[in-house]
């Protein structure tokens, strides 16, 4: 008898569910597989209206400033210490990248300027990071999670477009900001 620990079982079940969803999306919508990084440019979030609608949920990516003394100060503070010592704010540079707060966002820049006679459908497993302050409690709200994304793009006459807008209103609204209507390119 094979005995799996709980984490392996959860991972296997999660992967099976995702594979089934990906296969169903391909079968029913001809969804093309895609892959995107966990970072998204802040300009993309701004263009999609995320800064206006959810500024509290954004996690900016920062790194140590390129200053030997600051880096050495940080290294020494953490050398043999009991816990992590974070650098002061002026030693962190934020360069305009964010952790992705919704799986759909990294797709949009790849579609800019494209024209669709009818439409297209894309799917991918996206990593999402959404800071929700005190609402992050238990499994109701998570700071980090995976999503099997399904994005429809196309003209208003393309039937799956309406399925996409109806089922995925938030991503559909973002597409309206990134792509023009009626198959015109941006």
Say whether pLDDT at 50 is over 50. yes
Distance between alpha carbon 162 and the CA centroid of its chain, in Å? Answer: 23
Digit-coded pLDDT (tens) for 82-114? 899 999 999 999 999 999 999 999 999 998 888
Model-wide pTM > 0.85 = no
What local confidence, expressed as pLDDT, does residue 127 receive?
92
Please report which helix (H) or strand (E) contains residue 40, including its range.
strand 39-41
Tokens 């995107």 label which residue?
A: 36
> Given pLDDT bands bounded at 50, 70 and 90, which one contains residue 118?
confident
Can you give the pLDDT at residue 5?
81
**pLDDT above 90 (res 75):** yes
Beta-carbon contacts of 172 under 8 Å, excluding residues fewer than 6 positions away, are 152, 164, 165
Please name the residue that has the structure tokens 């209507």.
Answer: 181
Long-range (24+ apart) CB contacts under 8 A made by 83-87 are none
């Amino acid at each position: 008898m094979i005995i799996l620990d709980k984490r392996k079982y959860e991972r296997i079940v999660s992967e099976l569910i995702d594979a089934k969803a990906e296969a169903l999306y391909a079968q029913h919508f001809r969804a093309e597989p895609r892959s995107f990084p966990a970072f998204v440019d802040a300009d993309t979030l701004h263009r999609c209206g995320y800064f206006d609608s959810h500024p509290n949920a954004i996690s900016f990516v920062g790194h140590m400033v390129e200053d030997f003394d600051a880096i050495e100060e940080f290294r020494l503070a953490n050398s043999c210490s009991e816990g992590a010592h974070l650098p002061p704010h002026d030693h962190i540079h934020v360069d305009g990248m964010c952790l992705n707060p919704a799986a759909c966002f990294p797709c949009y820049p790849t579609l800019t300027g494209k024209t669709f006679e009818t439409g297209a459908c894309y799917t991918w497993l996206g990593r999402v990071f959404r800071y929700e302050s005190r609402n992050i409690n238990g499994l109701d709200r998570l700071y980090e999670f995976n999503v099997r994304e399904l994005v429809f793009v196309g003209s208003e006459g393309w039937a799956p477009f309406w399925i996409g807008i109806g089922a995925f209103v938030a991503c559909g609204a973002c597409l309206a900001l990134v792509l023009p209507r009626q198959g015109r390119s941006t």
